[in-house]
Structure formats: C-alpha cells, structure tokens
Amino acid sequence: MIGIIDYGMGNLRSVEKAFKYVGYEAKIIKDVASVKEAHALVLPGVGAFPDAMDTLIKTGMFEEIKRQIDKGKLFLGICLGMQLLFEKGFEIEETEGFKIFKGQVIELPKHNKIPHMGWNSLEIKRETPLLKGVENGDYAYFVHSYYIANNEEKYVYAVTDYGVQIPAVIIKDNVFSCQFHPEKSGKVGLKILKNFGEMAKWF
C-alpha cells in the first residue's frame, strides 16, 4: 500500500485517484502508525513551507517519516513535499526542513510571472526508473513560487526553465522528488506514478 501523507496541505484525492488509475493501491494517511505501516510514502503539498513543517512536527509524523526514510522506505515528495526535503525554506520566515538534501528553497526571480503556473518542458539530465517512458522535452504541470537553489547537481535528474533553471526531479537513494504535479500532468504524470508503484515492489 502506498501511503499519501495528509498534513492539511495538498491535492490528496487527485494523487490517490491517479495511483488507483494506474493500478496501485493508495491510501490517505494522517498518523504515525500509518506512516510505519505503509509500504511506500508520498508527501504531496500545496501551501506554505513553515505551516507544513509545523503540522508534521506537531503530529509526530516528521520524526517518523525521517525514521522510515533512513530505514530505506521508498519515498516520493511532490511540489511542496519535495521542497520540505531540503535544509531550509525562506517562505514567510526561515524554516528548517528534513535535511535529506543539501540546498535551500528560495523565491523565484521576479523577472517572470509568479507563481510559475502551467505546463513546462522537462530536460532530462540522467536516466532513472522514475522517468521510464518520459521523453526529453515532455511537458509537466507546475504550480509554485519557490524553487530549489544551492543544491547538489549530482542528484538532479531533470530540470525545467523559467528564466532560471529549476530542478524538476531530484533523487537520492530511496528518496524521489519532483517539483511539478504528476497527478496533474496527464499521460506523462501517470507514467511517473506508475513507475513509482513499480519501484515499490523492489523496496
């Protein structure tokens, strides 16, 4: 079972329905026990970095998610769920994240319209099972005002351009993440979610 973590932010039902559409059991979870029991974890998110971290810490899920990641459980962060994996976010106030990856979450440059909303193409940098069947130049759907900066390039598997190069897929060991919303990205997004479900069989 793929556990979709509910911390009060995110398009949970859309993610759940998308997984079920591609043939994988997914369930929305909101407590420590369910985080432990899930075979794989998904952290979606639409909202503010500090509010998200506050909720995860207060519910006890923050420590349990870190524990499960350290144990090797397969994990996927989506949009804000990706950003929370980094050292710090600077939305509203400086807030520490999970520190799975090095880097910070900063505001997009103001020379382009903010938020970055809509379809944008992916430039694939490295092969990964998560992007199996996704072609260089395929489009995904983005909605965000902040992006990953000062990160380690060796973990970046795809980028997109919005006046600045935005890391779109970042992967390290059992932790996978994407800045775009696969559940809103049509056939491309469904491929990615199906690939994640396939990978869950290996972990």
Active site residues: 79, 181, 183
Residue 44 CB partners (closer than 8 Å, separation 6+): 4, 5, 9, 10, 11, 12, 15, 78, 79, 80, 81, 183
| Nearest alpha-carbon partner for 145 in 94, 80, 196 | 80
Measured CA to CA, the distance from residue 43 to residue 85 in angstroms comes to 10
User: Of 83, 104, 80, which Cα lies nearest the Cα of 94?
Assistant: 104
Q: How far is CA 29 from CA 7, 61, 125, 129, 192, in A?
A: 9, 10, 33, 26, 21
DSSP result, 160-196 = EESSSEEEEEEEETTEEEESS-GGGSHHHHHHHHHHH
Residue in this structure with the two tokens 């998308």, named with its chain if needed: 18
